[in-house]
Amino acid sequence: MTTPPIDYRALFAATPSPHLVLDPGLVIVDVNEAYCRVTGRTPEDLVGQYLFDAFPDNPEDRDADGMRNLNASLHRVLHSHEVDTMAVQKYDIPVADQPGVFEERWWSPINAPVLGPDRQVAWIIHRVEDVTEFVLAHPLPARSGQTLSEREAMEAELYARAQELQRVNEELRQAHARERQVAVTLQEAMLHSPDLARHPNVVVRYLPAAEGLNVCGDWYDVVDMSDDAFAVAVGDVVGHGLEAAATMGMLRSALSAAVRALSEPARAMEVLGLYARSVEGALATTAVKAVINTRRQHITYSSAGHLPPVLVHADGTFVLLDQATDPPLAARPLHVPGPQAAVPYKPGDTLVLYTDGLIERRDEDIDTGLRRMTDILCDNARLTPDHLADTLLARLGVSNGGTDDIALIVTRL
């Protein structure tokens, strides 16, 4: 027996709960019959309209905040790619065919993202339940001398708690946003690389995480060592926020100083590992350092638990620099010499260092992301470093940031 295909448009139209679909610009692109019934509108009235043109705040209600709260929720969905459930909202709606007249309405909304092939939000499903009858039948608080039944008191308490939870959540979001901005500002200040300006064929990218406080654990650095040698490095501190930013700054500075005094990357990484033992929050930090000798045309590298750099040849083939990898910093109970390896290169090759936020995805093995990245690099090996960096970020769907911060160095050799 063959199961007939599901007509999802008919299914959406018949869904008993009111739904509408928004594009990322918050323009209404579809609406079901239940939504039309509860708002007294038709699809022709709504489709193609900017949401808040179709449903503005009631100008007669000085305390109206439904539009502001809904707009904040929808933008959280756009940035977090996660469902956002709102508390009960008072959001009056215009009465059809009566310009300037609004009807009091109370809603329980949920906003859910629909991701496209590029893992960005393609649409938002806005689902509401009209709870006006319930709210108006249970005025809060009770008037003096009025008593509530046990059930009414419980319902009133649940409603009041929902409103309080919304207020507290909004305060937390604002506090997190302030801390995130401080952390990003601190990160940008600490990532300054004076020697980078002398290397036009080296481009760097740092993208803070697109959501929450998942920011400030990653770093990059470019250091001149002599007329014919320079070093590039990336690292990733476990943890996020201001504490991770502070730890990152200390470790980055220590490695930058060590590589200036010690020409071999393994010895510089050993110094960093010893220093990491005394830095709170540095345990399990990963880092990789590569020294590029332009006269001898070879790369010497050493890694502490970090993902392997990629050497992309001009003919579209590649080599993973994975032959000198130690555990993450401070992971060994006793100090041992670090590993080091070397690989030759030819003019026109490209060296790429990156952190795991570039390729790691929650729903797949990291090797899948690594293969995806190397395929993109090989297919675009002849692009300029700047163009290659941007193409890589775009093709991996993280041009505007991902779920973790990203550090990236692309060096044309």
Distances (CA, A) of 252 to 73, 95, 172, 295: 37, 61, 31, 27
- pLDDT value at residue 167: 67
Model confidence band, residue 134 (pLDDT cutoffs 50, 70, 90): confident
Percent of the chain residues past pLDDT 70, beyond the cut: 85
Torsion of CA 7, 13, 17, 21, to 10 degrees: 90
Model confidence band, residue 152 (pLDDT cutoffs 50, 70, 90): low
Name the average pLDDT for the chain.
84
3-state SS, residue 134: helix
- pLDDT value at residue 151: 55
Mind listing the pLDDT tens digit for each residue in 250-297? 888 888 888 888 889 999 998 888 888 888 877 888 999 999 999 999
Give the pLDDT mean for 91-110: 85
- pLDDT value at residue 160: 57
Q: Which two tokens stand for residue 241?
A: 């926020």
The residue type of 46 is: L
- pLDDT value at residue 94: 87
Q: What is the distance, to the nearest Å, from the Cα of residue 313 to the centroid of all Cα atoms in its chain?
A: 31
Query: Among 36, 4, 3, which residue's Cα sits nearest to residue 19?
Result: 36
Q: Taking 60 as the threshold, does the pLDDT of residue 113 lie above it?
A: yes
Please state which of the ranges 60-69, 287-296, 303-312 shows the lowest mean pLDDT. Answer: 60-69
- pLDDT value at residue 47: 93
Model confidence band, residue 148 (pLDDT cutoffs 50, 70, 90): very low
- pLDDT value at residue 166: 65
Distances (CA, A) of 235 to 36, 90, 284, 285, 296: 53, 48, 11, 7, 26
Q: What is the pTM of this model?
A: 0.61
Tokens 């490695």 appear where? Answer: 255
Number of neighbours of residue 339 by Cβ within 10 angstroms? 16
Rg (CA), the chain: 28
Burial grade of 284 (CB within 10 A; 0-12, 13-18, 19 or more): middle
Tokens 């295909």 appear where? Answer: 5
Mind listing the pLDDT tens digit for each residue in 196-222? 888 899 999 988 776 554 556 788 899
DSSP state of 330: T
Q: What is the distance, to the nearest Å, from the Cα of residue 296 to the centroid of all Cα atoms in its chain?
A: 40
3-state SS, residue 171: helix
**What are phi and psi for residue 53, nearest 5 degrees?**
-80, -40
Cβ atoms 231, 291 nearer than 8 A: yes
Torsion of CA 190, 195, 201, 204, to 10 degrees: 0
- pLDDT value at residue 372: 93
Question: Does 335 or 94 have the greater pLDDT score?
Answer: 94
**What are phi and psi for residue 21, nearest 5 degrees?**
-120, 130
- pLDDT value at residue 210: 64
What is the number of alpha carbons within 13 Å of residue 137 lying toward its C-beta? 7
E strands in 6-83: 19-22, 28-31
Q: Taking 70 as the threshold, does the pLDDT of residue 183 lie above it?
A: no
Please state which of the ranges 43-57, 148-162, 362-376, 387-401 shows the lowest mean pLDDT. Answer: 148-162
Mind listing the pLDDT tens digit for each residue in 386-400? 999 999 999 998 887
- pLDDT value at residue 289: 94
- pLDDT value at residue 143: 46
Q: Taking 50 as the threshold, does the pLDDT of residue 97 lie above it?
A: yes
- pLDDT value at residue 142: 47
Name 324's Cβ contacts closer than 8 Å, sequence gap at least 6. 266, 301, 302, 303, 338, 339, 340, 341
Give the pLDDT mean for 7-24: 89
Burial grade of 220 (CB within 10 A; 0-12, 13-18, 19 or more): buried
| Distance from C-alpha of 395 to C-alpha of 397, rounded to nearest angstrom | 5
| Distance from C-alpha of 245 to C-alpha of 182, rounded to nearest angstrom | 10
| Distance from C-alpha of 261 to C-alpha of 233, rounded to nearest angstrom | 15
Query: Among 224, 286, 279, which residue's Cα sits nearest to residue 250?
Result: 279
Tokens 């007249």 appear where? Answer: 101
Name 278's Cβ contacts closer than 8 Å, sequence gap at least 6. none
- pLDDT value at residue 281: 79
Q: Which two tokens stand for residue 171?
A: 């305060």
Long-range contacts of 29-37 (CB under 8 A, 24+ apart): 29/123, 35/128
